Chains A and B, each alone.
Chain A
Amino acid sequence: MMPKLNASNAVAALMCAALILLPVYSAATGNIFILTLFTRITIYALAAASLNLIMGYGGMMSFGHAAYLGIGGYAVGILAAEGIGSGFIQWPVALVVSALFALLIGALSLRTRGVYFIMITLAFAQMAYYVASALSRYGGDDGLTVYKRSDFAGLINLSDRNQFYYLCLACLFGGLYLIWRIVNSRFGLVVQGVRSNEQRMQAIGFHANRYRLVCFVIAGTICGLAGALLANNTDFVSPAVMYWTRSGDLMVMVILGGMGSLFGPVVGAIVYLLLEELLSQFTEFSGLILGPVLLLIVLFARGGIMGLLGRMSRG
């Protein structure tokens, strides 16, 4: 199916082009800051996109998604601290552990619905937060410094700004492609069907929770990858990345950009983190503006930025 040319698709295409060309701009102007900023943004965009898979398409309002950021990060950090520096070991471990955690909490959480689901996912993320805080061998509350970034045997050098940026971008695009394929597959259609009407899907013979659980695990795994990237980006991982306000940040990105739209979370992550960065440059009280802006967006721009663009192009 050929995508139609409308405002939201145009914005998505422009955004992708800009993200790809960003290192060129950074090299030409010598503006290194913008590259490091956007490296962080692409990582959070990947995490937000994975949350969008379960929240936007699956109707599962997880309020504990930041847990996977921490789990992926700690997998990298702990292995590095134990002397295992190879990314070929660190990253698969990060993915597998995230997937197992998602499987465990998903299997339990999916027994509940609605607000109870929000709260139980939050509870599990808080438990992960407290476990990380208690890892005194790995820094405890203070967090764990990652002295050496993941080593990919000369294939790619994560300490090189440009290479690392493109790796993050590749992960983001890969993640988005995967999500797009999932959403348009039979599996994805069933998941979306369950979101709209669970009873009906059950009645025609789909085991709703099994589909939901698989979707939940996929999203957690993708977010675990974002966590591994994040630990490499900041050379540091601490329990704070799992705190509930961080899960709130991810939710904000998804809703701000537009839930249930493929590029929505990316737009949301860019706008939210840029806004935070810009505001912090001329005031240390960025929340005074950011907070009311969020409120206004909820009140007047339903469906987030992508929803707004969609309405604009329909006229």
Chain B
Amino acid sequence: MYLVVEQLLNGLQFGLLLFLLAAGLTLVFGIMDFVNLAHGSLYMMGAYFAATFVAWTGSFVLGALIALGATLLLGIALEYVALRHLYGRDHLDQVLATFGLILFFNDAVRLIWGPAGLALPLPAWLTVPVQIIPGVYYPAYRLMIIAVALAVAAMLYLVVMRTRIGMLIRAGASNREMIGALGINIKLLFTLVFGLGAALAGLAGLMQAPILTVQIGMGENILILAFVIIVIGGIGSIRGAFMAAIFVGIIDTMGRAFLPDLLRKVLSGAAASTAAPALSSMLIYLLMAIILVLRPEGLFPAAKR
């Protein structure tokens, strides 16, 4: 039972992290109609920046904040120099260009930080286990991830639903030409949204960094998961991304934790130990395929254009 609670929390934590990544992706996708494969690279850069700046400043929080700012600036620079010329182009052109950026970032990281991974050690106050319900301890750092991600999600909701900028973002998602015609500086809006997405990806990367090692290519696997989420949630819908991210995080974590035992009850030992890792890795993709076959527009499609 305790194990289930713990895995549920792990799933929630992973899902919230995925949401940070997917939120930026779905905003950029929904508003600019831009497929950004390099979003995973921004996630990776966030983790590398954090590992570097935490080592420099000696403070986890300060280093993380600087890394967040650095990823934001990097995202804005990237948008300004290259990506803004690709809006309105074919999705395939965007895939090709941002695929090139992945190659670039991977080798740039290898040049600057070397091929070996980095570790981002946690400060002592975040490593203590916290008693959440009597008898169940949970790492403080993972609880912090949950808290930060929920706070960011709430902030994002307020910004998008309650502010003028958010209104423009929503308007941009439903009709780009129209808000341009109404005299809104669409280029600036796009740059801001892209920077916001980059910062969210960086935040996800730097928060994940202490749990996994910081390494080249870390963004590639998780990028695909983020795409799965925005497709399941419906492209351009932040609410959809939130629901789908938590759903995917929990299913993925629970699958990995409990599927092997379940399969062992049904199948013979050898067959189960072969099938379990494959099935638990595939679970998410299987889910997406089923959802797309049944509902080709995702579960929570954003308003029609």
Contacts and interface: CB of A to CB of B under 8 A. Distances in A.
A291 B171 CA distance: 34
B3 interface: no
Interface string B255-291: 0000000000000000001110110011001101100
Contacts of B298: 116
B285 A127 contact: yes
A54 to B, nearest CB: 13
Contacts of A55: 92
Interface residues of A, number: 48
B92 A61 contact: yes
Nearest to A304: B96
A120 B278 contact: no
Q: Which of B29, B102, B104: most chain A Cβ within 10 A?
A: B104
Contacts, number: 144
Interface in B74-124: 82, 85-86, 89, 91-97, 99-108, 110-111
Contacts of A131: 278, 282
A130 B297 contact: no
A259 B235 CA distance: 26
Given A116-B292, A119-B231, A123-B228, A255 B285 contact: no
Given A111-B293, A287-B106, A298 B97 contact: yes
B277 A134 contact: yes
Chain A interface mostly helix, strand, loop or mixed? helix
B224 interface: yes
Interface in A98-117: 108, 111-116
Contact of A61 (B91, B102, B105, B228): B91
Contacts of A259: 92
Contact of B96 (A124, A245, A255, A287): A255
The list of the 4 closest CB pairs from A to B, nearest first, reads: A291-B104, A294-B100, A134-B278, A287-B107
Given A116-B298, A287-B104, A295-B100, 13 more contacts: A115-B91, A115-B235, A116-B292, A120-B289, A120-B292, A130-B277, A130-B278, A244-B224, A251-B96, A287-B105, A290-B100, A291-B105, A294-B103
Interface of A: 55, 61, 63, 108, 111-116, 118-120, 122-124, 126-127, 130-131, 133-137, 244-245, 248, 251-252, 255-256, 259, 284-288, 290-295, 297-299, 302
